[in-house]
Amino acid sequence: MTNVLVIKAHPLNDEQSTSMKVLSHFTDAVKVADADATIEILDLYNDFIPELDGPLLMAFNALKAGEEFTSLTADQQKNVARFNELTELFLNADKIIIGNALWNLNIPTRLKAWVDTINVAGKTFHYTATGPAPLTSGKKAVHIQSSGGSYNGQDYSTRFMEDILKFVGVADVQQIAIEGIDHHPEERENILAAVFAEADAIAKTF
């Protein structure tokens, strides 16, 4: 059985957001292609995603120094437990689907918070004599992103998401870009039709 982790990185739903509309379409297409797949959706704007802040970093440092988990404050315990849970969720996934919009040439802050939970030394990568190396293998990912303009995959967000996934061992990363709707609103339906067709084709072999 294939475990598919879907990352919904937008506060709006698929009726309000183009990226979420395509994310839902692609997820449904994956279900059709692999009826036995287990789909888990992580909604970054409704589920609890701890951010790396002072108290959380201090908690990790304390644990690394040998202190007991019970010595942490209640908030630190909650945040550490959830952070580790999200790391395990990623480790247990065979396939990852990520959907977001390009905001100010970057990824949403909630998506960055999730990225921090999968970029963990000793769990998803480790340091070697020649530099960092991934600790995961065999995973596949599709990154779905909408943007008002057209960047042809050269925007920072697309490059960052692909690089960070490959850094932790996800060698097979495909991109589905929904570009240019703000620049060419009259072409919206044509753009979406082409993207849906691309999504359907990728889902068949994902």
- Residue ranges at the known binding site: 17-19, 146-149
- The CA–CA distances, whole Å, from 174 to 11, 38, 142 equal 23, 20, 5
> Which of 197, 181, 190 shows the shortest CA–CA distance to 18?
181
Amino acid at residue number 154: Q
**Residue 77 and residue 120: Cα distance in Å, rounded?**
18
Positions at the binding site for FMN: 17-19, 146-149
Q: Work out the angle between the directed axes of helices 54-64 and 74-92 (0-180°, nearest 10).
A: 80
